[in-house]
Structure 1
């Protein structure tokens, strides 16, 4: 019995020793023996993965990779450098050499960093046979971006060198490495970048490389970035950009049934290939300093405009929900809406019917009087304007207005939907009434929206009361789509109130007296709303929102053309041409299309520039 107990004890003891030793070797020893970047005995070399490719919704390749080569420097290894010869070889000045070397020394004397980035294949072929002469320098291969389609730079974004502040926050990156800085490249940086491979190379006491550290047990292979399929329809995107030539503004098109962004256009634009290679920095500076055209501003996401008449849709739905009007409520318009006794208390209207009109006619004739009355009734329904304004605000914000929409886009502005607190700050004594805010009724006053917010609002109406958060990623290899993009967001408006409003929007285009009748497309039932937003800095902005078909809609769109006069002049034709192109695959209005392609508002922009210079 004693022998058996002794044997059992021995087996257990040996097992414990083996387990402890394995724990030490696999965990503790590995942790303490992985060399650090600052180790003089081991050289760390990174193997950079390819970034993931980016495709449009139909599989068209939008972003690929091309080979690039960086000259690396390890400052404490630089010996006997012939500076004149070296500078001539790299086509840099001696001042550049000193500046770049000092920057590398500040980072680390032992850790490799980029001395000269993104050499071309031609430069690499010329230099690779000569670099052995220059101790402390070597060439490292990596990939940079390439854009087969010269479109949508605001969507795709670009990559650039990480700065020292980001390196301090995120130890994954080293000086000189590249990171997504804008657009989809920024939003999905961790997905696209992949994972670097690492090789540890042993050195002897003479600093000579003698082989892999511990036979490569700590070495890792690079893991390529994941490919991303966007929701964008590249052909529709390019078509919209062509229609917006020589104009400024933003266009956003959304698929109402999913919230997928079909087009996200900002004009003026630029060739995304300008953000690649050694000229990237100079090109970026040039684009950044262009304060007139502002090509780096994503007008679809960041430009905030008064929404103008399309906002009357919200005024109508809010008034219906609050039971202060019905579809049959009428108002007589005498050329405008008078809301006070002062000389400036008259809101001019172009419908000038002179007879009672109901909701349907008010929408397709865009009557200021009707919607001003409806808005005023909502605010005055409650005991105080403060309470009424907060109720109105709640309804409006339920359409996604006044916030960032919680999407996967890199930039944005939230616009402005005022509430009671806002007007208490404007009028500190609290003595304000509905008439002080009456311009909100027609999308002027303090209301500001972005094109993507208006497009989302339009998709919400098309869906009869709900929307899916607009998003740009359709599919990511091996990564499920965030649930927030597949979960519907419901408004505070009952579904039954959308039908009479949609009927009015249909008549905007279909009725001969509708404000956008001449943009009608044969065979497509389009619901739309023209808008003209006042602009204190120049000619008014042209706005149009629409969705189609009327039933089971496939596309919702918002178009802003800066200084484009009225909605039906530029924005209306551009929106309906894009709808026609998307739903039919072609257009059949050559004269309208030609006018949009060749039309220019540059003269108006020049006037505005001259006016700004005078002031």
Structure 2
């Protein structure tokens, strides 16, 4: 009995193994399809990517047909290389290099030999493709931009790299993937699902028909269409206003957190990153270290917020009970305090209460309020952390969680910050008082500034800013419909809103009023330093403006940051007023402001930072054309020497 046990086990194991092999090779043939089977060829059918629309249903991004020439190195036969290269306008050296690269990837699998041929290029080569064994066409879908703006929002599509192919089995060499912007954030929905056809080949490597009559074939499924929260006309107008300027504009609908406009300047036409010139154009944009057109200043640029930060200083002081609406501070056009420090002030001076302190933007008032907040607690470290906790409730000093793949935290200092700066201690409220007016260690991004104004407009709450409005058949992520409440009681927002309203009536933005629209706003000017020639040099200040409108039932909150723009009421303020009127009325009545902004160039200021990039210089003619159409007046060439908008002629 014991002698028969071992042979029995061997026989049983053999039977099980034979059954398994029979099942895999005869019954279940999917293993053949997954392997590099020489007798079965995979043909992929690539779906169209989902379309993009704006909040009003305007088509922004569609698709166009494109063709890649694919090569399977093992199947190459003798080729008339000279004729082949002439057809594709490449050199023999390029031909050899591409073939060698394909062999490195895989001798048996298809690789992209040349990508993104348009219809005319494809037609010229299609007639002769049969002469070149080992080569075939792969139809794909490229983006077709219906607008020449919004590049930073859309992102772009590009070929996957080998690292991603190895990591994600869905992608093959030559496949396209979304990068940056919405294309990257919503890649899984936009890309759709590839279809696959399995083709049987004979021993001579000739195609003889569908494998198993197409039993395992699948059809391509188009990507999901999406509606963005962007208002296309507002976005376009914002980019026009920022010609010959650098900075960012962010507009948000306070009641929902939907991003209405996300402008970065300089920008570029998204259409230049489509087709065979994509690589060349992207390289030019990527290496433009002067204008940085790929750098989204609305999301990435961290600036001292300047006077708009006084809104938060005042709200925290009210919440902490160190001031009330009637608290009075005397300002002698400056604020002196211990250790020989002095803070200048540009208000009219005299005795000020909260309301006037806001609309005249009194440094003395808010410096006093800030120091009272810090001095309320026995230890400055404890006080700063209490203050920082209030700031955090506004989404500051952290990633905001919006649905775009790039961003910065900004900076809100805590006790740890000052322990690093002052390891021996000795710091106090007078040491860090610059925080009160948005200088010091405080940094914010334009989207954080816009969200701050949305919170004030809502009297204490906000929804995480987001760019997606609707996806057919899908629910929007719940985090975008979840209400966030700040640590400041609702009752303290009303006096702040009253003061911000009078910024337009009798304060620093009185010249920016739009008849019939009640706007609440705040001007800002932030000091601007840069290293030039190894030295720290103070340049023209950044121009900042934040606002929301209408005062009652607000529909738009906005932040404008213009680098080297000077006073907040000079450039950023007019842009904010124009954007608000454009959104609420779809027309402009303040044509005087529009004309001034459109014809203002700051390129002379930017030239001090290292000259003007070649991509910027190249576009002078396009800038002239855009501005002439908008203003219908002669453009002064001495003032407008270049433009940061990179168009299709790059």
| Same structural fold, with TM-score higher than 0.5 when normalized by the shorter chain | yes
What corresponds to 1:18 in structure 2? none
CA distance in 2, matches of 1:348, 1:140: 67
Match of 1:552 in 2: 553
1:525 maps to 2:502:
no
Does 1:516 find its partner at 2:509?
A: yes
Shift of 1:126: 0.9
Question: Which segment is superposed worse, 566-575 or 166-175?
Answer: 166-175
Query: How far apart are 1:402 and its partner, in Å?
Result: 1.1
Task: Report the counterpart of residue 577 of structure 2 in structure 1.
Answer: 576
2:609 partner SS = helix
**1:175 counterpart residue number:** 173
Q: Distance in 2 between matches of 1:554 and 1:302?
A: 25
**2:77 and 2:334 mapped to 1: Cα distance?**
83
Aligned to 2:3: none
Q: Report the alpha carbon displacement of residue 592 of structure 1 after superposing the two structures with TM.
A: 1.2
Question: Structure 2: how far apart are the matches of 1:251 and 1:34?
Answer: 55
Matches within 5 A, 1:403-418: 403-418=398-413
Q: Distance in 1 between the 2:597 and 2:23 partners?
A: 71
Given candidates 193, 196, 218, the residue that maps to 1:195 is: 193
1:501-554: CA deviation from partner (whole Å, max 9, x where unpaired): 01000010012xx00000011111100000001001221000000000111100
**Unmatched segments (≥5 aa) in structure 2:** 1-18, 531-538, 614-650
Deviations 1:350-394 (A, max 9, x none): 1141x2100000000001111111111111111211100000000
Q: Which residue of 2 aligns with 1:233?
A: 231
Q: CA deviation at 1:209?
A: 1.6
Matched, 1:349 2:351: no
- Could you tell me how far 1:206 is from its partner in structure 2? 2.1
5 Å matches for 1:528-543?
A: 528-537=521-530, 538-543=539-544
Instruction: Describe the SS at the equivalent of 1:176.
Output: coil
Q: Contact 2:49–2:192 (CA<8 Å) still a contact in 1?
A: yes
Query: How is 1:259-274 mapped onto 2 (pairs within 5 angstroms)?
Result: 259-274=257-272
Please point out which of 426, 442, 447 is paired with 1:447.
442
Task: Give the superposition deviation at 1:205.
Answer: 2.2
Per-residue Cα deviation, 1:314-365 (whole angstroms, up to 9, x for no partner)? 00000000000001101011122223333xx111111141x21000000000
Matched residue SS, 1:522? coil
Corresponding pairs, count = 585
Aligned with residue 47 of structure 1, among 45, 48, 63: 45
Residue 606 of structure 2 corresponds to residue 605 of structure 1: yes
Alpha carbons 2:606, 2:612 under 8 Å: kept: no
Following the alignment from structure 1 to structure 2, what is the Cα–Cα distance between the partners of residues 187 and 443? Answer: 32
Pair 1:100 & 2:123 matched? no
TM-score (norm: length of structure 1): 0.93
Q: Which stretch shows the higher mean deviation, 115-124 or 203-212?
A: 203-212
User: How many Å separate the matches in 2 of 1:539 and 1:523?
Assistant: 34
Please say if residues 37 and 43 of structure 1, whose CA atoms lie closer than 8 Å, have aligned partners that are also in contact: no
Cα distance between partner residues in 1 of 2:611 and 2:139: 49
Which residue of structure 1 lines up, in the alignment, with residue 648 of structure 2?
none
SS at structure 2 position matched to 1:105: helix
Distance (Å, rounded) in 2 between the aligned partners of 1:30 and 1:324: 77
Q: Counterparts of 2:25 and 2:527 in 1: how far apart (Å)?
A: 68
Task: Give me the CA root mean square deviation.
Answer: 1.7
1:40 positional shift: 1.1
Q: How does 1:581-592 map to 2 (within 5 A)?
A: 581-592=582-593
- Report the Cα offset of residue 306 of structure 1: 0.4
Deviates more, 1:409-418 or 1:307-316: 409-418
The CA distance in 2 between the partners of 1:37 and 1:394, in whole Å, is 57
User: Equivalents in 2 of 1:380, 1:399: separation in Å?
Assistant: 22
2:356 aligned with 1:361, yes or no?
Answer: yes
Is the 8 Å Cα contact of residues 34 and 218 (structure 1) preserved in structure 2?
no
Please give the per-residue CA displacement for 1:393-431, whole angstroms capped at 9, x wherever unaligned: 000111111111111012111110111111111111232
577-586 or 448-457, larger mean C-alpha shift = 577-586
TM-score normalised over the length of structure 2:
0.88
Question: Does the Cα contact within 8 Å between 2:117 and 2:275 map onto a contact in 1?
Answer: yes
Which SS does the other structure have where 2:447 is aligned? Answer: helix
SS at match of 1:557: strand
Partner of 1:370: 365
Name the CA distance, whole Å, in 1 between partners of 2:449 and 2:24.
Answer: 57
Question: Which ranges of structure 1 fall in alignment gaps of 5 or more residues?
Answer: 1-20
Q: Is 1:147 aligned with 2:148?
A: no
